[in-house]
Amino acid sequence: MTKTQKYKKQVDQNRETITKMLSGADTVKRLNNLNWLRHEISYTEPRTLFYVPNKDQQPYLDYNSMKNLGEAYDYIINNPKKDIDITEICKIHSILCTNTHIQGGLFRTTPKIIEISVNGQRVHAPDSSQILSKMNDIVFKLHNTESCTLNRAFNVHYDLIMLQPFDDFNKRTARLIMNWVLIHGGYRPIVFNHPTDKQKYKAAITAFANGNSKDYYSYMGACMLRTQREIIKLLTKSKML
C-alpha cells in the first residue's frame, strides 16, 4: 500500500469515527465541534500562515481579516451542498475582502507573480486574459465525480493558488473552497494550525509546482489526519452528551 493510499484509508476511518461520535450528540456538542473549527480557521490558522508585514506594507492580518474568514466559513457551513461554481468562488473572495483595500469577487487585470519558485525561478501566474477559461477548467475538474473527494479538494486548492485569479487573498480563498469541497463529500475541513505549517505549506505547493505531486498530497493528507485527530480528541473530552 502506498503512502497516499494509507492516508486516504486512515482519513476515511477517522471520518466514520467522527460521524459515529456525532450521530447521537446533542446540538451543543455539534456546535462545540463547529465552533472549534471556526476558531482554528479564522484565528489560529491565519496567525500561523500569514507573515507580519513591515510598517510600509498593507496589513495582512487584523481583526477585520479574521472576522471575514469566520463569516466566509459560516457561509460555507450554512450552504454545505450548494453547487460550487465560479460565482460561488467569487462570493467567498468577496466576503474575505469586506472592508479591505481589495475589490472582492473581481478577477485581476494585472500580471501577478506566484510566491513560489519553479526550477529556481519565480513564476508568473497566467495572463489575466486566461483567467475565465482557466476558472471554467477548474470548476469542470471540481465536478468530475470519477475523482475522489480528497483529490478534487486538494487539486482545487492548488489550481486556484497557481492561477491567482484575484488581486489578493487567493490562498485564503483556495483553502476555504477546498474545505467546502471536503464538506460536500462528508469530511470535516482541514486546518493549518501547527507551528511548522508556515514553511511546510509553502514547501508542499512548491514541490507540486516542480513536478512532485506526491509530497503535496502527502502533506495535505497529513494535515487532514491531524485535524481529524484533534476533532476526535475534542469530542472524546466533551462533557456535553
| 113-118 and 121-124 strand pairing | antiparallel
pLDDT at 58: 54
The tens digit of pLDDT for each residue in 152-175 reads 999 999 999 999 999 999 999 999
Residues 90-96: what's their mean pLDDT?
98
Read off the pLDDT of each residue in 192-218 and give the average, rounded to a whole number. 95
Sign of CA dihedral 69, 74, 80, 83: negative
What ranges do the domains of the chain cover?
3-237
Give the chain's mean pLDDT: 91
Do 190 and 220 meet the contact criterion of CB atoms below 8 Å apart?
yes
Distance CA 236, CA 203 (A): 33
What's the pTM value of the predicted model, to 2 decimals? 0.93
117 SS3 class? strand
- Angle of helix 63-78 relative to helix 170-184, nearest 10 degrees, comes to 20
Task: Determine the Cα–Cα distance for residues 63 and 6; give it in Å rounded to an integer.
Answer: 39
The reported pLDDT for the residue numbered 33 is 85
Residue bearing the bigger pLDDT, 125 or 119: 125
pLDDT of 32: 80
d(CA 99, CA 27): 33
At 51-90, the pLDDT tens digits run 655 555 555 568 899 999 999 999 999 999 999 999 999 9
Which carries the bigger pLDDT value, residue 180 or residue 65?
180
According to DSSP, the residues that pair with 124 across neighbouring strands are 113
Superfamily of domain 3-237: Fido-like domain (1.10.3290.10)
- Among 174, 186, 166, 184, residue whose Cα is nearest residue 11: 186
